[in-house]
Amino acid sequence: MRPGQSSLIMLTYKVKKVHHARMSKKESGFEQPIATAARLLPSDALFGGRREIEIEHSGRRYVLRITRQGKLILNKAGGTSMTETQSGTAATQPLLQGGIRARDLAESMGIREAELLATHQGPEVTRLNDDMRGLITALPDLGEIMSLTRNDAAVHEKVGKFGKITIGDVHALVLNGAIDQRLFLSHWRTAFAVELPGEHGPRRSLQVFDEFGDAVVKVHLRPASNVAAFKALRERFAAAKPQPLVVRPRELSPQKSAHADVEAFRREFDKMQDVHEFFPLLQRHDVTRRSALDLLDERYVQKLPDGSARRLLDAAAASGLSIMCFVGSRGCIQIHSGPIVNVKTVGEWLNILDPGFNLHLREDLVAEAWSVRKPTRDGLVTSVELYDRDGGLIAQFFGVREPQEAENPAWRDLVGALAWPQ
């Protein structure tokens, strides 16, 4: 469900007759149903730009959410599903069922993935404490792992080892070859150690979630991983007394500021010496990454035709050109650098299926593709950026280049060709 759609929510003020074996008509407080005319409210007016709202009814709080598929789900506030039993069975059993991913299972239950793990009753899930810096520092002990970072439209998987970690006040860097990440620590809110039964043995992982209950990063163990280190880490960081999990309501992607000084923004953009100066520029002018494209002229930005993501990957695979692929959650940007080989479509997913690197991209959720050129001291640097319908960044692609070197002309030509479909 997107802003501007004509979908309506019908709020029917109707008191239904209560049927309960232990409740008489007198106890129920009424003799027969009473109904009034239905009232229609546009969903946009009800949600006010958010992805969910809280409703108080008879002293209890409920959460009405818009799912990723645009549907509505109502559940009790505080992570308790409307279908959950008092015994907790519903919170225990679904996580152990095969054939459905935890993210999709949580969505079907009307809760967040972090809530699904937090309400699990059993030894398979261990809530970890909030020492996120300590947890990051301990990740190299696991040896070879698969690190997964995703958003609603893209999943980025890399096989490698953690190492060469630098942790600052609000950011952390992992620069260890295959595992190349930018971590935003303010979004590292909740973590779990998970060990689920699998057909070929236990499936072990560390999973970190943000303030909205969405996954930041998942670290999956592989056959070559250090299981003893995983168990020691789980014991070391286990939360002594886990507090109830509280997740914030999701909001739609922010819209551009109506007061942006276009000329000032363009002047500062023209003077950029490094691509890393772009994000501070956005913050100074209170504009989003997507809305910034509307402020720049055709020297720097060009909207690409539909299907450009597929054509980009096919062309990169055919040429053997080394590219960089960035995919991020709120708390982690993960990067692949190198050539790609196997580009395949499976169902609704466009995939790169290479040893050590997988990308899964929902083409149907890509609303826009843009060619973007940013000034640097080494000349223009070109990227292809994919956005969803809310203006959220799905993925970015660059050509691999060394510091203080000009951009590879082959990459620039490849991107240039996307503007003219064959």
pLDDT digits (tens, 9 = 90+) for 2-34: 444 434 344 333 333 334 444 443 443 434 444
- Residues 65/110, Cβ–Cβ less than 8 Å: yes
pLDDT for the residue 48: 66
Same domain, 37 and 131: no
Same domain, 278 and 387: yes
Same domain, 291 and 326: yes
Q: Kindly state whether residue 2 falls inside one of the protein's structural domains.
A: no
How many domains, in total, are found in the chain?
3
- Residues 192/124, Cβ–Cβ less than 8 Å: no
Task: Give residue 129's Cα distance to chain centre.
Answer: 22
Residue type, 255: Q
Contacts of 168 (CB under 8 A, 6+ apart): none
Same domain, 290 and 388: yes
pLDDT tens string 271-314: 999 999 999 999 999 999 999 999 999 999 999 999 999 999 99
Same domain, 226 and 268: no
Here the CATH number for the domain that contains residue 65 is 2.10.70.10
Polymer length in residues for the chain: 422
- Residues 47/390, Cβ–Cβ less than 8 Å: no
Same domain, 97 and 149: no
Closest C-alpha to 397, from 354, 344, 348, 359: 359
* DSSP conformation class of 84: -
| Residue 313 to residue 311: CA distance in whole angstroms | 6
Same domain, 25 and 96: yes
Q: Which domain holds residue 409?
A: 262-417
pLDDT tens string 33-58: 444 556 777 777 777 666 677 777 77
pLDDT for the residue 302: 97
- Residues 71/108, Cβ–Cβ less than 8 Å: no
Same domain, 133 and 214: yes
3-state secondary structure of 279: helix
Confidence grade of residue 98 (pLDDT, cut at 50, 70, 90):
low
Read out DSSP for 137-172? HHGGGG-SEEEEEE-SSEEEEEEE---SEEE-SSEE
**What pTM value is reported for the model?**
0.81
Here the CATH number for the domain that contains residue 178 is 3.40.1570.10
